[in-house]
Amino acid sequence: MTGDRIFNKDFTLTFSASFLFWSVTNLLIPLLPLYVLTIGGSDSDMGLIVAAYWSTAMLSRTVAGRCIAWLGPARLMRISAGVLCVSVFAYLLAAAPSSLLIVRLAHGAAMGVYSTSASTLVGYLAPVRRRGETIGIYSTALSLSQAVGPAVGIALLSYASFAGLFVIVWLMATIPLVLTYPVDRAGKHRPEDRRAGRFFSRGALLPAIGAVVGFAAFGPVSSYIPVYSMEKGLANPGLFFTAYAIGGIAVRAVGGRLSDTFGRTQIVIPASALICGSMLWLSVAAGAWSIVGVGVVYGTANGLLYPALMAQAVDRSSWEERGSAMATFLCAMELGISVGAMLASLIVASFPLSVVWLMSAAIAAVGALIYTREWLREKAVGVA
């Protein structure tokens, strides 16, 4: 990379391929529950298929962290993009819930490996002085796909059968494979020691803890906001997620740049406090516009938090262990989402949803306290 330039060939291709990769995945999210019912599945089949996808995605990340040391992130991106193509085409052949489960396992593995390897490559490509900004820009690809993908999927289903839809999605899935082919062909951005890959990166422990507590709120939000928002008078729950996406997209690059200027810890603290505040606001929200307002604030908070934590994971890892650091960070983020969802499911059995939001606020407050302690430590040793 020349100087502090962000948009070189490899970064631009990786950003574009990642946007399309995630768009394919997000496009299918609202459609697969309907497809399960179409092929004779039950509600329990639906839950199993969703759980299998996310579980495989999380488990595959740990394997990806080691494989990056052997193959390099760019080569692993191409392999996982190829698996995506095959798995999306296989949706056409899945005529029963059992076969659909196998396809979703493959899709989940492709997602876990691709996102880990692409994030690792971006960590290698990012100029040191603009690392947070680079990661923030890259992460907007995910936010954009979340904003566009589900809406496009529902729109396509209005004009095509499931078979036609899967053909369209498969054609989309071939594009990331083409885009990743020229990326880092020389293999410059990879560990020199192929034995350096680990299942867990000790250097990424602090940002991993920050990810667990910081993203725990997303589990209950994604599970219960549709019901809660309608209870509060918001007829279209999708408006919450639109507001969330807009808030996140608007600040990711700026938040990353702020973390480059002021330090990762100094951004994580207010971001965690914003998550806490948004969940407290959600617990007392009195109308539809309050729900939309929470969406903007919560999206802004996550947009600040994600690039700061991810950049810190890169900062604290050596060149050789960068893949393991990304795997550790991303696994921790998904663990936090899963734990938050599980705790929420236990709470709603006996208490109103407002208690779930209070629980989410308390967990986010723990993150703010952990990083406040880290800031005091950094200040004491002259780092902050």
| Secondary structure, 3-state, 35-82 | HHHHCCCCHHHHHHHHHHHHHHHHHHHHHHHHHHHHHCHHHHHHHHHH
Q: Strand (E) positions, 167-317?
A: none
* Residue from 236, 245, 230, 216 nearest 26 by CA: 245
- pLDDT per residue over 15-57, tens digit each? 999 999 999 998 887 788 788 888 988 867 877 887 788 788 8
> Is the whole-model pTM more than 0.75?
yes
Mean pLDDT value of segment 237-252: 87
- pLDDT per residue over 257-308, tens digit each? 999 999 999 999 999 999 999 999 999 998 889 999 999 999 999 999 999 9
- Which amino acid makes up residue 73? P
Q: Dump the DSSP string for 281-330.
A: HHHT--SHHHHHHHHHHHHHHHHHHHHHHHHHHHHTS-STTHHHHHHHHH
Query: In the predicted model, is pLDDT for residue 1 greater than 50?
Result: no
Query: In the predicted model, is pLDDT for residue 365 greater than 50?
Result: yes
Query: How far apart, in whole angstroms, are the C-alpha atoms of residue 308 and residue 305?
Result: 5
Mean pLDDT value of segment 70-91: 94
Query: How far apart, in whole angstroms, are the C-alpha atoms of residue 139 and residue 147?
Result: 13
Distances (CA, A) of 109 to 64, 289, 379: 10, 38, 41
Query: How far apart, in whole angstroms, are the C-alpha atoms of residue 360 and residue 365?
Result: 9
Range in 14-18, 191-195, 229-233, 358-362 the model is least confident about: 191-195
Query: How far apart, in whole angstroms, are the C-alpha atoms of residue 186 and residue 9?
Result: 13
* Residue from 54, 189, 211, 52 nearest 117 by CA: 189
Query: How far apart, in whole angstroms, are the C-alpha atoms of residue 361 and residue 340?
Result: 11
The whole-number pLDDT of residue 199 equals 66
Query: In the predicted model, is pLDDT for residue 311 greater than 90?
Result: yes
Cβ neighbours around 190 below 10 Å, total: 25
Mean pLDDT value of segment 311-327: 88
Are 16 and 130 in contact, with CB atoms under 8 Å apart?
no
Domains and CATH numbers, the chain: 1-183 (1.20.1250.20), 193-384 (1.20.1250.20)
Spatial CB neighbours of 164, under 8 Å, sequence gap ≥ 6: none
